[in-house]
Amino acid sequence: MIVYSHNNDMVKGLRKMNIKPSTTIRQDYNGFSKLCHELDEPIVLTRNGEADLVVMSYEAFRRMEARIKLQSKLLVAEKQIAEGAQLLEHGEVMARIREKLNAAKA
């Protein structure tokens, strides 16, 4: 569950969201950019008191993309296992990875 907290109070057991009015970015872009990098998590911008946009640093965005991609791959692997796909031994996996790394270097 996500809790919107204008005064940045932490609610027990719930993830708080950082919320700022849209004027924050218009009035001080550099300061807002610095805040995004320091917090290293999404910030909700509001317009007329309603959530409008979510902004984050590019680095935080890339990490989020990587997590989503990994979660997607894990779901596919779990489905394959549930459907009876044959598992590979550790040595075989490592050999395949080495082959790919060597091919990429060439």
CATH for 13: 3.40.1620
Q: Decide if 45 contacts 27 (C-beta within 8 A).
A: no
Asked whether residue 36 falls in the same domain as residue 65, the answer is no
94 and 80 part of one domain? yes
Domain range for 75 is 60-105
Residue-wise pLDDT tens for the chain (106 aa)? 344 444 444 444 456 789 999 999 999 999 999 999 999 999 999 999 999 999 999 999 999 999 999 999 999 999 999 999 999 999 999 999 999 999 998 7
Alpha-carbon torsion angle 52, 57, 62, 63, nearest 10? -100
Q: What is the reported pLDDT for 105?
A: 87
Q: Does 64 lie in the same domain as 35? A: no
CA distances from 78 to 65, 85, 102 (A): 20, 10, 28
Which residues, in sequence order, are bridge partners of residue 56? Answer: none
Q: Tell me what pLDDT residue 15 has.
A: 63
User: What number of residues does the chain have?
Assistant: 106
pTM of the model: 0.65
What is the domain count for the chain?
A: 2
